[in-house]
Structures are given as C-alpha cells and as structure tokens.
Amino acid sequence: MATRPRQAVRWAIRAASIGACLGLWQFAATAHLNLGAVTFRNVPPPTEVAEAAVVLLRSPKLMAHLGSSLARVFAGYGAAALLGIALGIAIGRSRAASDLLLPPLELLRPIPAVAWIPLSILIFTSSEVSMIFITFIGALFPIILNTVHGVANVDQRLIASARSLGGNRLAILQEIVLPGAAPAIVTGLAIGMGTSWFCLVTAEMISGQFGIGYYTWEAYTLQNYADIVVGMLVIGLMGMGSSWALTSLGRVLMPWHRPSAVR
Amino acid sequence: MSGDPADGHRRPSGHVKVSRVSIMLGESDKAFRAVADLSFEVAPGELLCLLGPSGCGKSTVLGALAGHLEIATGAITLDGEPVAGPSPDRGLVFQQHTLFPWKKVRHNVAFGPKMRRVARRERLKAADDLLALVGLAGFEDFYPAQLSGGMQQRVEIARVLINHPRVLLMDEPFSALDALTRARMQQVLLDIWTRIPTTTVFVTHDIDEALFLADRIIVMSHRPGRVIDDIRLPFARPRHADLVTEPDFVRLKRHVMGLLRHRDT
C-alpha cells in the first residue's frame, strides 16, 4: 500500500509546521525582535510560557478560575439551549408563534452579544448574573435560528407518511420533527457554544472576579506576560473541548446520521 | 401473520367509490383544476391501476383518497364512509425516501402499532413477522439509508400493511428503481398481495407495469384528468415475467399506447 508511507510523510510535515512556528516564536521573543509596527519586546518565549503553565497547573488558582468560567457557561449556555430549542420549535411549527416571537428576535439579532455588556451590567445588580446573561445572549440566536431552520425543513412527505400511519400532532413532533431537525439543532448548539465562550471571556475581562478571561486580563495588568499566553491557551483548549463534547453528543444522539452503506 | 390479534380488522372490505370528484390545486389566483368530474369504483380485493401521462392528476386522486388533499366537489367513500383526513385504514406508499431515516427498519414498520399504543414487544414481533413476509428477515436492525432502493420499498409496504389497511394506495412506488429491480418488486408486490388480499389502487405511468399488475386499468387523460378507458385484464394469476411477451398482452399494450398517444398531441 502506497498510502501508509505517504500518510507518515504528511504527519511529519504537519508536526514540522508546528515546530517551525514554535521555533520562530522562540527566536523572535528571545531576540526581542522589533519590526517597527510589531514588537516582540514584551512577548514571552514558549519556554517561559511552558514554565508559567506548569506553575498554574500546580496552583489551586486554576480550578477556581476554570470552575467559575465553566459554571457561567453551564448556566448561560444551558439556559440558551433550553429556551432556544423551545422557541425555535414553536416558531418553526406554528405561524402564530412565528408572527408573535420572530419580529423582536429579528430586531435584536444583529446586535453582537458583546455590545450587551454595558447595558447588562446596568440591568443586573450582580456582576455574576450579568456575565451569565452575556453568555446566554451569545448562544441564544444561533440556537434559535438553526432550530427554526431545521424544523421548517423537515421533509413534508415524512410528516404526511406519519399522519397516514396514524400519528397525531404530538407524536409527529416527537417522532418526526425533533429527530428531523436534530442535525440542524446540533449545528446551532455548536455555533452557540463558540460564541458563548467568546462572550464569556470578554465579559470576564471587563467585570470578572474569577474566571479564565479575568485571569488573562489580570496577567496583563500585573505584567505577568507569560500568564497572558497561558490564559489564551486555556481558553482555546476549553473551546476545543466543548466543541468536541458537542460533536460526540451529536454522534451518540444521531447514530443514523452517517451510517455506512452495505450495498 | 397468523396469531396476530389485530387480524380481525381484515375482512373482505375495501370498497372504494369516487363519484364526480373535482380537485383544485394551487393558491387562489393560480389555482387550476387538476381533476375534473372523475368517477370510478374499486371492488373489495381488486388491484386497480390508475394509468396516465405525467400531470394527468392520477397522483392527485391518490392524495385525495389518502385524505391529504381536499376535494372541491363530489364524494369519495371507503365502504360507504366518506374519506376525511389521513387514516391508517388507507395505507399510502410513496415513490421513495419516506422511511424515517432515524428509525431502524424494525421501528419504521412498528410505527403504526406504536401510534395505536400496541405494547412494545407485541408490535416489534408483528414488525419482524411482516419484514419476513416481504423478504427482509435479517435486516431488522439496519437504518433505511443502509438498504438498497428496492429493499426500502419493501419496508414501506410492510410499514403500511402492518396497519391492516382496507385499501393500499401506491403512488408510483417503483418508478425510482432500475428496470431489473422494478420487475422483481412487481413480482414481490403480487406475491404479498396474494397472501394479504387488500384492495389496491396503484398509480403509474408505465403501461407494462399496469398491464402486468392489475385486475383492471383506468386510463386517464391529460389535465384535467378524466377516465378515457376502463379495461378489465383477462390474464390469469399467478403471473410471471414472460406474460409481457404474450400476444394478448401485446395487443392490449398497443391499444393503451394508442389511447395515450391520441390524447398526448
């Protein structure tokens, strides 16, 4: 088989690419490279970042920061998932619900969630709740819109078949509309998870007390420059982990979605 | 199928009567008459083919029989009761891709009994029995996408027959299949129909298919669809593939082709 060695070569190239990036970074940071518009004078080299990461891993601060960030995402994103899917199904299935709910949602949709930060600090007396609200708003719209899209695009012939086989409204919702819309809903959940993290980190930088966004911003104000990059890496890892969790959930919930053909 | 407690449903019933039916399709100002003043009857246990060119309204008639479309004038009855809305009593098989992709084959077939709240063990047993009848024993745990087109249509038929419908409505069920599979599926359908005698209305634009399957053929004209001929077929059953080369078959085929050619132009 010619594919095996070719695969090995491709992996080697990929690894070398990452190695080259790290090498360039190390060189630029230790040489305090100054290109005029861009300067590496205050950028920590990867070796320092690694040391700082080890220190953070060993300190109890990590769990405190991660714990509060995760709790906020769970609360805000969880509420957005429940409400978004419910609203999306109502809007997609009922003309009355669509006329009643869609206009205000369409008006609010173009406002980026981050733009809600000042107002939400004013509205909510606790900064904790205002940060949860920002993650909620960030996730809500992609989840609603994808659910509406998924529900509206369920094959009408499947619904006709189910009615012919004796299915009533509720059964059709459970057995046909929900599974039919599931791939679109999971897509909405994945997009929502991304914006949710993005909004959370921004909110934490502005009004946080703990949390990984706050940690990153605090590192900047305290001039612990290596910790800034550690914070960035942790944020990236959390986003990656949550999107992996969602894809796995999708695979478990929708085993029919990519079955292999036998003939 | 023996031992199924629901067998009591199946009596030699299934008398379909379509009287002076017109059907309008489309939204208000673009509405057009798809079917005009159409009348025919189907006797209990009969296999009737509605044959006509595409756009003649034959599928529309079937949609009205199924209860998915409203009729503008006239009446449709099944055993004397007017048709109002979809019902498992009138099982509908589409052309393709209407199995529920997220349900395994067994659960697709068991959908009707599930809606009637038949106990789980009982309905899965009934589904497995019907799958065996249509020749799909061993495929119960497959998803529809893992089956070939012909196998999917067998599941469709099983999923409808499990409800013991008084009439089986088939809307060009084999037209998306390749020629060889189609011929085999026609044989499979006749085989099933012999074992579970059910009044059947089969819509097709394929003259050979209609002549091979039917007890009786109703030939429909171009839109708005009217009956232009009502032919009782003399061929004995069981029928075999070589029927299509017999002189009587060829003579009738020529006759029907003539009918359709005249109206085409």
- pLDDT of B173 reads 92
| pLDDT value, residue B35 | 87
Residues of A in contact with B101 (CB under 8 A): 256
Which residues touch B245 (CB under 8 Å, ≥6 apart)?
none
Nearest CA-CA distance, residue B183 and chain A, Å: 19
Residue of B101, B102, B111 lying closest to A165 (CB–CB): B111
List chain A domain ranges.
45-252
Q: What are phi and psi of B228, to 5 degrees?
A: -105, -15
Mean pLDDT of A120-142: 92
pLDDT at B121: 95
Q: How many CB atoms lie within 10 A of CB A247?
A: 12
Sheet holding B73-78, edge to edge: B32-42, B16-25, B73-78, B81-82
Q: Quick one: pLDDT at residue B12?
A: 53
ipTM confidence score: 0.84
Tokens of A147: 């659910």
- Contact by Cβ (8 Å): A44, A229: yes
Domains of chain B and CATH, by start:
5-264 (3.40.50.300)
Query: pLDDT digits over B100-130, tens only?
Result: 999 999 999 999 999 999 999 999 999 999 9
Tell me which chain B residue has its CA closest to the CA of residue A163: B86
Pick from B90, B100, B145: CB nearest A158: B100
User: What is the per-residue pLDDT for B155?
Assistant: 95
Cβ-nearest to B98 among A157, A182, A262: A157
Residues of B in contact with A159 (CB under 8 A): none
| Nearest-CA distance B185 → chain A (Å) | 17
Ranges of residues in chain B whose predicted pLDDT is under 70: 1-12, 262-265
Angle in degrees, 0-180, between the axes of helices A212-221 and A225-253, rounded to the nearest 10? 170
The chain A residue lying nearest B67, using CA atoms, is A164
Q: Average pLDDT of chain A?
A: 90
Using the Cα atoms of residue A131, residue A185, residue A244 and residue A17 in order, give the sign of their dihedral: negative
A158 contact residues in B (CB cutoff 8 A)? 98, 100
pLDDT for residue A53: 93
Nearest Cα residue to A72 out of A259, A215, A213, A225: A213
Q: For the structural domain made of A45-252, what CATH number should be given?
A: 1.10.3720.10
For residue B168, the chain A residue with the least C-alpha distance is A164
Average pLDDT over residues A165-194: 93
Is the pLDDT at A196 greater than 60? The verdict is: yes
Which residues of chain A does B94 touch, with a Cβ-Cβ cutoff of 8 Å? 157, 161
Structure confidence at residue B107 (pLDDT): 96
State the pLDDT at residue A256: 83
pLDDT per residue as tens digits for the range A50-90: 999 999 999 888 899 999 999 999 999 999 999 999 999 99
Per-residue confidence (pLDDT) for residue B97, from 0 to 100: 80
User: Contact A229/A49 with Cβ under 8 angstroms?
Assistant: yes
- Enumerate the residues of chain B whose CB falls inside 8 A of the CB of residue A166: 87-88, 112, 115-116, 163
Residue B244's pLDDT is what?
87
Tokens 């005009």 belong to residue: B36
Looking at CA atoms only, how far is residue B117 from chain A in angstroms? 11
Residue type at position B38: L
Identify the three-state secondary structure at position B234. Answer: coil
Which candidate, B64, B97, B101, B96, places its Cα nearest to that of B83?
Answer: B64
Query: What confidence tens digit (pLDDT) does each residue in B44-79 have?
Result: 999 999 999 888 889 999 999 999 999 999 999 999
Residues A193 and A244: beta-carbon distance below 8 Å: no
